[in-house]
A and B are shown apart, each in its own frame.
Chain A
Amino acid sequence: MRIQEHPILSFERGEKVFFTYNGKKLEGYEGETIAAALHAAGIKVLSHSIEHLKPRGFYCAIGNCSSCFMEVNGEANVRVCVEPLKEGMVVNTQIGKGDLL
């Protein structure tokens, strides 16, 4: 689901781009966040809690809550709710806390 019309905000949608999510080819728009594109594709689970591995989804949407850590282009712990989408990005579900190197 994408917000098409908003009483206050206006959206400037960029070009259509393609990215992969866990090996699956998905499309989104340049300028929106990775989380927005995933949400539009119906993907609700972004990460899992550390202790009991409970699913965590789109929550604060401003880069605060760290519920959306994913692996982007091989880099762990990327907050996809504030990371702009770019052509050809490789987005994967992160397992565990993520490696530094």
Chain B
Amino acid sequence: MVLKCTGIPTNEDLERVFPSKERLEKGPIVVVECFQRIPCNPCHTACSKNAIKEFDDINNLPVVEEDVCNGCGLCVSKCPGLAIMVVDMTYSEKEAILKIPYEFLPLPEEGELVLGLDREGKAVDKVRVVKVLNTKAMDKTPVLFIAVKKEDIKRVRNIKLQEKEKKFQTACCSDLIEKNSKLSKDTVICRCSDVTLEQIRGLIKKGYTTFDEIKRISRVGMGPCQSRNCGQLVLREISQMTGTPISKLMLGTYRPTTKSIKLGEIAEAVDGGEHND
């Protein structure tokens, strides 16, 4: 259940997918942290040893043949969910190698000391980047070889570069997001017609409890975006205030087109214009 709510596997979840202690000591092997049944099989097609068996049902979870897998790591960069890593306990006496997929910039340098993170993103310990693989076949999912203490192999799952991080600031200032993350009465719900949260809540309180009613009285959903921004937000407010599940609420009369097009294009199409066929 925890996994479903947070996306973070618990120790019990991990035990289910981790190879046995005996197998780990024999040499490198994959750990496939795939917990949800979805139609996906690139791990099987990537494996040249057929260690990840063909799926009877494409929704099934992958099954690793522990004796066949040699930990080559071909599947690591092929998993769209970045759910696969390789563990090699034979690297040295005190350290093991983890081969993890890493889709961030900048890439660390070989030999660099970085911060090892656990599955919740919390710091564990300094780890050493041994190798950075980024070939064309990996299709922009580089694989990092990191040396971690043997007792940390079930904790470390990602890394964080410390000093270089500042160079890559995002366009939005993070404290601005923090400040604005809470809704206020002045929060604009309808960006086209400037209808605020307070106005929407006021209407629902007055008894307008369908999208259509609110639309007709406030012009929500009638601007150029045609409710593509505000639709779900208004439904959420109705749902929260009336207790009706959002799945039972309708967006009201919703007419084509899905994307806005020019009236001239419709006129041309009526005339049999080739331009828009």
Bound together:
yes
Binding site for B on A (CB under 8 A): 1, 5-8, 49-52, 54, 56, 59-60, 63-67, 69, 77, 79, 100
Q: Once A and B bind, how many residue pairs between them come within 8 Å at the CB atom?
A: 53
| Contact assessment for B225 and A49 in the assembled complex, using a CB-CB cutoff below 8 Å | no
Q: If A50-B223, A77-B224, A100-B263 touch, does A66 touch B192 (CB 8 Å cutoff)?
A: yes
- Main SS class of interface, B: loop
Across the interface, which residues of A come within 8 angstroms of B193, CB to CB? Answer: 49-51
Q: How far is the CB of B143 from chain A (nearest CB, A)?
A: 13
Q: How many residues on B have C-beta within 8 angstroms of the other chain's C-beta atoms?
A: 22
4 closest residue pairs by CB, A with B? A66-B224, A51-B194, A66-B225, A52-B194
Are A65 and B191 also in contact (CB < 8 A) when A1-B171, A7-B140, A77-B224 are?
yes
B103 at the interface (CB under 8 A from A): yes
| A7-B105, A51-B192, A52-B194 given; 5 more Cβ-contact pairs under 8 Å | A50-B192, A51-B193, A65-B228, A77-B262, A100-B263
What is the chain A residue whose CB lies nearest that of B228? Answer: A64
Docked pose: A67 CA to B260 CA in angstroms = 13
Q: Is B10 an interface residue (CB 8 A)?
A: no
A64 to B229, CA, bound (A): 8
| A7 partner, pick from B103, B191, B225, beta carbons under 8 A | B103
